[in-house]
Amino acid sequence: GPNSSSQGLFLIENIPVEIDIQSSAALAGHSLILSAYKPAGQGMSQPELIGQSRIILTGLPGQLGLVIAVPEPVTRDLDFVVIDGVIVDRNNQEIMVARQEQFYRGRDSAQLEMIQPDRIAPPPTGQSPSATFQQLEGKVYLPKNAPSLMRGASMTVELIETETLPDGSRVENILGQSFVDIDQENSPFKFKMDYSLPLSSSGAPRYLRAVITDWAGRSVYETLAGEPYLANVDSYRLDLQPSPMP
């Protein structure tokens, strides 16, 4: 949550970001720049920079945890903040970029994966490489005759893109998330989600996934098979099944 300055003159929100740097080269002396943006919309055609952090890297790459300080009054009425990152050399030339912009919604840390720029497919001619922001909505249904949920339940709906890397491994990129407090609510549960589709998309399959967790964070219901995302559909029905026992 926001932290007050020592003089109490203004409030600062620290946005936590976890960075995974995928590189075999030493990056000592290079700079990692993390940026937080107010999303485009409401009269703005481009995202607006609201906070930035910059550090000098030392030694070999790996995983880092940092924060971006932003003015709390700016983020107070936002559903999400867009997080992006870049690594530059001493001449301010890009060495690595984020595989994909991420959203921060006031809860979990934003997760950025830094990769070589040549591993990102170039955008179609005449298009900006930045993401496009859209919205979808839907309803999530419990199984028939399911018992009432215990107090403290919450629901997470995610739009996932499954990407196959050159080495054959697969990674899941989260394009959008929606967190819904469903304490004492009845099925079906409504959700709305803001999400971004990178214009440099490789055509990887996308699907919606929903999970309901209890007060202790344990998964109790989920979509065992994701609902396919369709570009011309903005309303979805997701049917849940009991989560497999761990």
Q: Is residue 216 part of a domain?
A: yes
Per-residue pLDDT of the chain (246 residues; tens, 9 = 90+): 333 343 445 587 889 999 988 776 667 788 899 999 887 765 556 778 899 998 888 766 678 889 998 888 888 878 788 899 999 887 788 888 888 888 888 877 888 988 887 655 444 444 444 556 788 999 999 998 888 887 888 888 988 888 777 777 777 777 888 888 888 888 999 999 888 776 555 677 889 999 998 887 788 999 988 888 987 888 999 999 998 876
pLDDT at 41: 63
pLDDT of 4 reads 36
What's the number of domains the chain is made of? 2
Q: Same structural domain for residues 102 and 169?
A: no
The CATH number assigned to the domain holding 22 equals 2.60.40.2990
CA dist 240 and 246 (Å) reads: 17
Q: Nearest CA to 61 among 112, 15, 104, 100? A: 112
Domain endpoint, select from 96, 118, 140: 118
Tokens matching residue 24: 């075999």
Q: Say if residue 177 is in the same domain as residue 237.
A: yes
The structure's pTM equals 0.49
Q: Is 50 found in the same domain as 15?
A: yes
Q: What local confidence, expressed as pLDDT, does residue 197 receive? A: 75
User: What is the domain range of residue 112?
Assistant: 10-118
Per-residue pLDDT at 124? 44
123 found inside a domain: no
Domain-embedded: residue 232: yes
Supply the DSSP string of 80-140, one letter for each residue.
-EEEEEEEE-TT--EEEEESS-EEE-SSSPEEEEEE-GGGSPPPPTT--SSEEEEEEEEEE
pLDDT at res. 122: 47
Rounded CA-CA distance 56/64 in Å is: 12
pLDDT at 126: 43
**Distance in angstroms (rounded) separating the CA atoms of residues 212 and 222:** 6
5 within domain boundaries: no
CA distance 26 to 95: 11
pLDDT at 202: 61
Q: Based on the domain organization, do 212 and 236 belong to the same domain? A: yes
- For residue 4, being part of any structural domain is answered with no
In the 8-state DSSP scheme, what is residue 13?
A: E
The pLDDT score that the predictor gives to residue 198 is 65
Give the integer Cα–Cα distance in Å for 49 and 53.
Answer: 12
| Tens-digit pLDDT profile for residues 43-81 | 556 778 899 998 888 766 678 889 998 888 888 878 788
